[in-house]
Amino acid sequence: MSSPWSQRRDVSPETSRLLIERAHEELIAGNAADQRLLDVRPLVRDSWRRSLASLAGADSPPPLDLSILELEEYRRTHPLAGVMDMVRALLLPGEAEESGVVVAIGDAAGRLLWVEGDRHVRTLTGDMGFVAGANWSETAVGTSAPGTALTLDRSVQIRGAEHFNRLVAPWSCTAAPVHDPETRRIVGVIDVTGGIEAVTPQAQLLVDATARAIEGELLVARLRARSEARPARRRTSARPAAARATLRVLGRDRAQLVADREGTETVIELSARHAEILLMLATHPHGLSADDLGELVYGQPQAADTLRPEIVRLRKVLERVAPQLVPSSRPYRLPVPLETDAHNVISLLDRGAHRVALAAYHGPVLPESVAPGVEQLRDTVRTALREALMAEAGIDVLVAYADTAEGVDDVDLLRLCLEMLPPRSPRRAGLVARIERLEA
């Protein structure tokens, strides 16, 4: 079956890209009365003004609202989880990996839950933070099809430079909200992102039709569930929200444990040894024997006698601030998953969010630690970041990485940046000088 995106037709915008870019620059500079803004579509102009009022960033990637654990849990219970096969059949028939577009499904708040489609396009759009878990509402990232469609409660098309965020300017997109079939409240949004083929009139008709088909399917599924329900009173399955905790170890000699209980956040600084133990338990969620944990922390498998009193002291600390994390024994393991900023960077790289991953990488894992397990994780994160960026990231992200402590002396990275930069780029001279200095 051929892809519905295979027939590309030119769309003639009301203004040229240059006029739109100049109007955008005037608005960002504070010249809201500039006459060039009148050349921009009213829908876009109004959205720009809302974006400016909400302090959305014009040059920064969107915030990542959902970690990988939160995302997996949320997707399982979201009402649109049951219609994903329908979305794929309607918007990504045939070879989805070669469709030329990316299809995203988000919730009513603008947070992307599923991002699928053309592999190459997903790599490029992931570079600007268009990944599952990211917030693409107007208040977070400014004018974009998913965020603006949710704000206006109607389908919209945003072309190239009409985006408020400059990082998104190379792309065009069509999006439509999805409503609860009975209450008509918004439950999510469908977005198609790509080149000019993503903003044709046919694209808008197809996305609108898909949204209506989903609403119909939601109603059918709901009616079917009611007819099959037992007469007996249904048991409630509501559970209290789990207390969450995050371990911050990047660029820190003393790790921080951030615990959230009933909406109250507590931050404590851990001792070096407690940080090493907790990090190893977070890295090995299935548990570790005393010998294995002792080897990862102390470098000696016979360190159980030294390890046990430290575990006792760590338990006392956790009982006060994060009792859900108090480790059990035989094997030593955490009762619930513990997120870490180090594993978050790897998760972002896996999702293709290179720019966001680089921003989240605040330095090596516990840089002063000599625990073998920590040294291994430190090298894993550093290597994963370097390899992913050099293999898939855009030139702006690579140049930013080359300016970090990790990349400043990396000749291969600097040479790659030099290859990717345009011949007349003013940044080439500085890179050449750095390479020559390192090879002298």
Domain of 262, CATH number, reads 1.10.10.10
Q: Which residue carries 């590309």 as its tokens?
A: 8
- What gap in Å lies between CA 78 and CA 87, rounded to an integer? 15
Q: Which two tokens stand for residue 57?
A: 């960033």
Domain presence at residue 233? no
Burial of residue 149, with CB atoms counted within 10 A of its CB: 0-12 exposed, 13-18 middle, 19 or more buried: buried
Domain presence at residue 354? yes
- What gap in Å lies between CA 234 and CA 380, rounded to an integer? 48
pLDDT of residue 9: 44
Long-range contacts of 237-245, Cβ-Cβ distance < 8 Å, separation of 24 or more: 242/324, 242/336, 243/322, 243/324, 244/339, 245/322, 245/324, 245/325, 245/338, 245/339
Do the Cβ atoms of 131 and 352 come closer than 8 Å?
A: yes
Structural domain including 154 reads: 17-225
**Cα-based distances in Å from 430 to 16, 393, 425:** 34, 20, 10
Same domain, 163 and 269: no
Buried b (16+ CB within 10 A) or exposed e, 24-45: bebbeeeeeeeebbeebbebbb
Same domain, 176 and 249: no
Number of CB atoms found within 10 A of residue 359's CB: 17
Q: Which two tokens stand for residue 377?
A: 């994780």
Domain presence at residue 231? no
Query: Which of these, 114, 108, 74, 66, lies nearest to 92 by C-alpha position?
Result: 114
Same domain, 249 and 324: yes
Domain presence at residue 400? yes
Q: What's the pTM value of the predicted model, to 2 decimals?
A: 0.70
Domain presence at residue 238? no
Domain presence at residue 52? yes
Number of CB atoms found within 10 A of residue 436's CB: 9
Same domain, 78 and 109: yes
Same domain, 184 and 305: no
Same domain, 173 and 293: no
Q: Which residue carries 């190459």 as its tokens?
A: 120
Q: What is the CATH number of the domain that holds 95?
A: 3.30.450.40
> CA torsion, points 79, 109, 348, 246, in degrees to nearest 10?
-90
- What gap in Å lies between CA 342 and CA 339, rounded to an integer? 9
Count the domains in the chain: 3
- What gap in Å lies between CA 21 and CA 161, rounded to an integer? 6
Residues in the chain: 440
Residues whose CB is less than 8 angstroms from the CB of residue 316 and which lie 6 or more positions away in sequence, other chains included? none
Domain presence at residue 194? yes
Beta strands 172-179 and 156-158 are antiparallel
Last residue of a domain, one of 161, 194, 225: 225
Helix axes 272-283, 372-392, angle to 10 degrees: 60
Domain presence at residue 273? yes
Q: Which two tokens stand for residue 62?
A: 């969107």
Q: Which helix (H) or strand (E) segment is 205 a member of? A: helix 201-228
pLDDT of residue 24: 73
Please tell me what DSSP assigns to residue 410: -
Same domain, 43 and 81: yes
Residues whose CB is less than 8 angstroms from the CB of residue 318 and which lie 6 or more positions away in sequence, other chains included? 325, 326, 327
Same domain, 322 and 408: no
- What gap in Å lies between CA 189 and CA 78, rounded to an integer? 12
Listed as ranges, residues in the chain with pLDDT below 50 are: 1, 7-15, 232-241
At CA 63, angle to CA 60 and CA 68, rounded to 5? 135
3 state DSSP class of 73: helix
Same domain, 303 and 349: no
Same domain, 68 and 43: yes
Same domain, 256 and 220: no
Same domain, 297 and 218: no
pLDDT of residue 28: 73
